Structure 1
Amino acid sequence: MAIFTTEYFTMTEADAIEYAKTRLNFFDEDAELTCKEIGDGNLNYVFRLVDEKNNKSVIVKQAGPVARISDEFKLSPDRNRIESEILELQNKLAPGFVPEIYGYDPIMNCCAMEDLSDHEIMRTALMKHKKFPLFADHITTYMVNTLLLTSDVVMEHKEKKELVKSFMNPELCEITEDLVYTEPFYDCHRNDVFPASRDFVQETIWNDKALQLETAKLKFEFMTNAQSLLHGDLHTGSVFIKEDSTKVIDPEFAFYGPAGYDVGNVIANLTFALANAKYTIEDAGQREDQIDYLQNTIIDIVDLFKEKFVKAWDEKVTDRTARYEGFKEYYLDSVLRDTAAVSGLELCRRIIGLAHVKDITSIEDAEKRAAAEKECLTAGKRFILERGTLKTGEDFIKVVKESFNNI
């Protein structure tokens, strides 16, 4: 229909059905389609279309010109193109760990992709206190393959620079620069601080000039270090999971930046899950069991990432100078330093800033929520300030254990 071929508009569920019938070569001719808008994120509209007659389904994801979280954020719909292209690339680099893309439409600013409804959003699953023993292995394979293999260490340098140009993402980078690196560390009007935590935030975060200096250093490193092709928003809400499968979704914040940004986001969001377990599980044995699982997962992610990174380096490095004695260790240390820093930034910004996480906001008891927030902020501050000293999974989990009382 011409309605989908001339100019953009935000689709309704009925529009999405008509779009699937007329613009997607996916469903059978006799398809009987139903549609539900299932997007619960901050930016986009996500339609799940189902043909129960032929047992087929697809996701259509549409990017609007403003964020759903706030119309203050004016966004380029080009993020949908970026998401489609990066998923296709990552499916080559880390096959099986991202959804399959069926097509991208630059007029309607949408893409069609594999329906992962047999999986569960990881944040939701962890809030139900489920365990996924394969996650650490899966996510570290994904991160090593997508981060190291898109760097100058491995790629031909001109080819890498072409990718840097292709994945310029200034509007979404600005959101990260504001919401992660800047606003949480002063009394910004856009922050959303839980009243019971505000005095602690003022004293511990906003009044700490040494901390502010370190966040300034990190912000400018983030803006200028085009190291690896990042997912850019790799939290537990961006992972679909089941017992034997992990799928990373929503890479619309993708751009070239410091590799540790992705790894740190994973560590921080598992820490939020740990805080949720501590303050919402009533049975002491179950609570201890879930906390142990999450602690061990954090340890495994750091250590498996290092192990796989070194192995991939030895097998894949193409740049002659990258093979000089000591350079591999220097490079990996820089990634671990950034991992620790971003773990801290994420822990702080999700408590103080505009975009919270349900792991914390779902803690109904105000006193417990405030305690959880203070512990997350304590760990976050230490991760930032001590980032140069954290080299192993045990180093990372020590910061968490010492910041959280009685775990």
Structure 2
Amino acid sequence: MVIRKDRRRRVVGVVAVLLVAGLAGATVHRVLAPAEVVTVARGELPAVASPASGPIGRFATAPLLVDGRLRVYATTRQVWADAPVDDRQRNTPYWSYRRWPAQLSGVVTGGATVVSRWSDGQLVALHAHTGRIAWRAAAPAPPDGYTGRRTGASTVWTPVGLHTATTPDGRPVVVTVGDRQAQGSELTTGRRLWRVDLDPGCRTAIGTTVTGRLATLDRCADGTVVEFRDAATGAVVERWRPPGAAAASVVTPTGCATARSACGGLRVAEPETTGADPADGRGWLVDTGSPVAAPGLDRTGAVLAGPAGVAVTAGVVTGRSARTGDELWRRTDLGPGVRVLGAQPGRVHLLTEEKDLVTLDPATGVLRSRFRLTVGRDGTGWTPGLAYAADGYLAVERLRTPVDVGADDHRYYPMAEPVVLAAT
């Protein structure tokens, strides 16, 4: 009788152990298995906002504006939107999309489509107005996962190797560049147009041009070589050696839309040396195909804004014809610490030493708006980081002074909500 009871206890014990193990395994699977969560929009689509010029609000994460109606944000494993665009604070998500365990690498938009790129190489496109999945496709994996720090600014404003382009026949394309491959896909459907192999470690994406070309820097070539590919076919249409460029020259796009897309120009210059004043370089226009010399972009820090190259020298702001270098206008009334933050069609944005945001017409230098870029009691003791200009708005990261790029986010940012958004 005792033997039977012992056997019964052992059987019950084994069953209990197996049950606990099974439950634990199920829990681990639920936690660690790949998953996605889609929370679609409910309610009416917000109207297009039209705020007066001035600061709108401050945010913990960087907004990407879509269709004049929504603000899109990014963190390590989530893309979400809120509204309205001109609300002074971040609101409850209008829609949200999460993936696990992949990390978000970049976000771009085109029309009412939001395309997210993930560390496992997946592209997931969402309908901006609803948050529903529009399409998904495989693409070359990015070099890194999430690198956007606390604000996500680099993920939504300057994602690495993720760009948009428009083909000569008007088709919008999303271009992805990885270490070993590059790919072009239709932005509206996700249909792959082309995929090409790259020499590992040899190509660095520069951006796309307004003529529908992907520009990459061939780092394995003898000297500086920029390779241009047709965004519709992936075919190499030109390999360009900038005249007089050294092997270590830095090629920077300018006159671009968000995500270094549809750029109108390039600047080729020597790399900056710590403690030395940056040297002038040479500017080039890429708005008609092959690069054409643009003397108006030669000066250090010059930004292509419409027909003008706008730069600051010793506190004097000048706009020069990008093509000829002829001076179009100059302003001496903005102070010695003024700097160019960015440009968008019909606007060039500058920040004064007192943290006034000054917006000028880039063709004439005429003032469009000027106001102190502060919200609440944040003050002016900060340094501008990444900036984003689109649809008449400007957003900028505020960094702690002096800037320490190696510091953790608590030291890198001077406040809990370091991004300020303004209407210009």
Provide TM-score, normalisation by structure 1.
0.23
Report the structure, 1 or 2, having the larger helix content.
1
More strand per residue: 1 or 2?
2
Which structure has the bigger radius of gyration?
2
